[in-house]
Amino acid sequence: MDAPQLTVGEFSRLTHLTVKTLHHYHEVGVLTPADVDPVTGYRRYALDQVEPALLVRRLRGVGMPVPQVRAVLAADDARRQALIAAHLDDLRHELARTAAAVTDLQTLLTGDARTVVITIRDVPDLPCVLATEDVARDDITAWCAATYPRLFAAAGRLGGAGGPAGALYPGPWFADGGGRVTAFVPLAGPRPGADVVPGSRYAVALHAGPFTDLDRTYAALGADVAAHGTGTDDPVREIYLITPGDVTDPAGLRTEVCWPLTPQGRQDTGKDPSCP
Amino acid sequence: MDAPQLTVGEFSRLTHLTVKTLHHYHEVGVLTPADVDPVTGYRRYALDQVEPALLVRRLRGVGMPVPQVRAVLAADDARRQALIAAHLDDLRHELARTAAAVTDLQTLLTGDARTVVITIRDVPDLPCVLATEDVARDDITAWCAATYPRLFAAAGRLGGAGGPAGALYPGPWFADGGGRVTAFVPLAGPRPGADVVPGSRYAVALHAGPFTDLDRTYAALGADVAAHGTGTDDPVREIYLITPGDVTDPAGLRTEVCWPLTPQGRQDTGKDPSCP
DNA sequence: TTGCTCCTCACGTCACGTGAGGTGGC
DNA sequence: TTGCTCCTCACGTCACGTGAGGTGGC
């Protein structure tokens, strides 16, 4: 007796996947019918394809991308567990990101911390250890998490860090959704042959809170500079006074945003609240 | 003195929206530049467009669809609050859905409740109040929540309900992602002129747990029927023994799934555990 | 034979991203 | 004048959904 096979319609009834979805899964190789009639093109599914189909439905239901679903189906049990666990971890991160985004939105709506104090500061050339790389906007957090420990370790071997770490973001970085970034850690003393982050005159604002909110400070700062017409196209400098390594609550983070000015622009205000 | 205007690149630096994103928002009318040079096509943004841009970034960050974002920007303060609150509510529902999907996945993986007991039952014609409508799969939960209270109220006026409510899902319903559904509530006594849900022989399985897991029971039932070759293309019947109105934990739900058989098919098993 | 199921294109959706190829402004 | 910024198509991505137009099986 032949093992019974199912048409797409019947298979769809068992699995609650639409026919169009089954066509799609056939096309991309996620659920290939046990049999395809070479003349009519009719798809035939075997009963033992029902179980994988239920799994596919659930994996897609938790947002796993189709290529990963295919990988899960092809994997043995141990690897299957690992792939699924990894995706659930991605889900948790995504959830945390969304929660943070809701907080950001509410912060904006309630108008908390709207006052941004802008000071003018001349920053000298800074001997540093630094790293420059092409980084996409989406990868910047992971890149920083990997890079700064390395830089601090290197600085330690050269006499220790001489101040908070920072980074340089060229003008087009945000416009392009990524690009060349420079991360640096200043050295405690002058060091012959060390890299140097060039000084400049800056309009500086202190950003309190999560990085996702940085655009608020950028906006206030950039709008002020635009209104005065004294900006340049040099990179923006960020200085990380209190970092995710120092506090667990993102609300505790402190970052200085430094917008480059022409040397002939506004005068150094001397009194800089964040640099007493 | 002219109010300073910003090029896309500059505006992008202030708002952290990419140039491509700003082009897109221009095209779809979310953020229209204050000025567009008629000859070069150059976009110019005003400083007071920075604030709406920050809002757009946050609304998109919490997943609000672009048309809704446009509506928020166009709305006055009260309506704006309402639209945002409504979306955050959508987000919460989506979150609950995902959490349930994770549970479903884990249930499948641990293999809990895999044993499905199948019985054969002859169901007689049933006098009912019923509602038939075209419903998409995504809308089915909301439709049921709206329809059953109405049906129970109607049954009450006709002498009360004579058993648990149910529904008929035609064969192609799942294949097509929706279609004509019939929801019914049986009447306590015979009632001249009342609608009748026609009886049939069914293979019946009791589904314990959330509706999102129903495919598991459909699969077991449909596979069994396919293996015996005694199925028909009549609608599947669901019977809601314990409904979301009865319990808060979806794990407590009890639903009978009835797969139609030919009258000459397998015999009524007589002893039906869920119908003592 | 009727009507349902099945088939294959081909295009639409959503919110942008990715080049290609060309021009404007300092 | 060079090089950067800006522009407009046109097409790609992702996971299907939506018809159109036609054929197979009971």
DSSP labels, chain A = -PPPEE-HHHHHHHH---HHHHHHHHHTTSS--SEE-TTT--EEEEGGGHHHHHHHHHHHHTT--HHHHHHHHHS-HHHHHHHHHHHHHHHHHHHHHHHHHHHHHHHHHHTTT----EEEEEEPPEEEEEEEEEEEGGGHHHHHHHHHHHHHHHHHHTT-B-S--EEEE-THHHHHTEEEEEEEEEBSS--TT-EEEPPEEEEEEEEES-GGGHHHHHHHHHHHHHHHT-B-SSPEEEEEEE-TTT-SSGGG-EEEEEEEE-TTSSPP-S--TT--
Contacts of B227 in chain A (CB under 8 A): 4, 47
Q: Could you give phi then psi for residue B246, rounded to 5 degrees?
A: -90, -35
**Confidence grade of residue A268 (pLDDT, cut at 50, 70, 90):** low
Q: Is B175 within 8 Å of A13 when comparing Cβ atoms?
A: yes
Query: What's the pLDDT tens digit per position in B15-61?
Result: 999 999 999 999 999 999 999 999 999 999 999 999 999 999 999 99
Residue A189: its pLDDT value, please?
Answer: 82
pLDDT at B272: 47
The confidence score (pLDDT) of residue A273 equals 45
Tell me which chain A residue has its CA closest to the CA of residue B136. A18
- Main-chain phi, psi angles of B206, to 5 degrees: -95, 125
CA neighbor of A161 nearest in space, from A236, A245, A218: A245
Cα separations in angstroms, B157 against A187, A274, B132, B160, B183: 85, 75, 20, 7, 18
The gap between B8 CA and D5 C1' (Å) is: 9
Query: What confidence score (pLDDT) does residue B189 get?
Result: 82
Pairing state of beta strands B178-186 and B166-169? antiparallel
Per mean pLDDT, which range of A100-114, A145-159, B155-169 is the poorest?
Answer: A100-114
Q: Which of A11-20, A171-180, B161-170 has the lowest mean pLDDT?
A: A171-180
Q: Of B130 and A269, which is predicted with more confidence?
A: B130
CA separation for the pair B223, B61 (Å, rounded):
44
Interface contact flag, A16 B102, Cβ < 8 Å: no
| Residues in CB range of A246: below 8 A, 6 or more apart | A252
Q: How many other C-beta atoms lie within 10 A of the C-beta of residue A72?
A: 20
**CA-based nearest residue in chain A for residue B169:** A13
Residues paired with B197 in a beta bridge = B126
Q: Strand C positions with any atom < 7 Å from protein CB?
A: 4-8, 14-18, 23-25
Q: With 90 as the cut, is the pLDDT of residue A114 above it?
A: no
Q: Which pLDDT value is given to residue B274?
A: 45
Q: Which residues of B6-33 are buried (b: 16+ CB within 10 A; e: fewer)?
A: bebbbbbbbbbbbbebbeebbeeebbeb
Those residues whose C-beta lies under 8 Å from the C-beta of residue A28, and which sit 6 or more positions away, are A66, A70
Question: What is the pLDDT at residue A270?
Answer: 52
Question: Among residues A39, A36, A38, which one has the least CA distance to residue A8?
Answer: A36
Residue A276 pLDDT > 60:
no
Can you give the distance from the CA of residue B29 to the C1' of nucleotide D10 in angstroms? 21
Average confidence (pLDDT) over A186-190: 90
Closest-CA distance, B226 to chain A, in angstroms, reads 7
> What are the tens digits of pLDDT across the range A197-254?
999 999 999 999 999 999 999 999 999 999 988 889 899 999 999 999 999 999 999 9
For residues B113 and A77, the model is more confident at: A77
Regions in chain B scoring below 70 on pLDDT = 1-2, 112-113, 265, 267-276
With an 8 Å Cβ cutoff, are B54 and A226 in contact? no
Instruction: Return d(Cα A105, Cα B51) in angstroms, integer.
Output: 13
Shortest Cα distance from A191 to chain B (angstroms)? 34
Per the CB < 8 Å rule, is B219 touching A91?
Answer: no
Distance of A177 CA from C18 C1′ (whole Å): 12
Residue B113 is predicted with a pLDDT of 60
Helix (H, G, I), strand (E, B) or coil at B95: helix
Mean pLDDT of A78-96: 96
Q: How far apart are CA A111 and CA A105, in angstroms?
A: 10
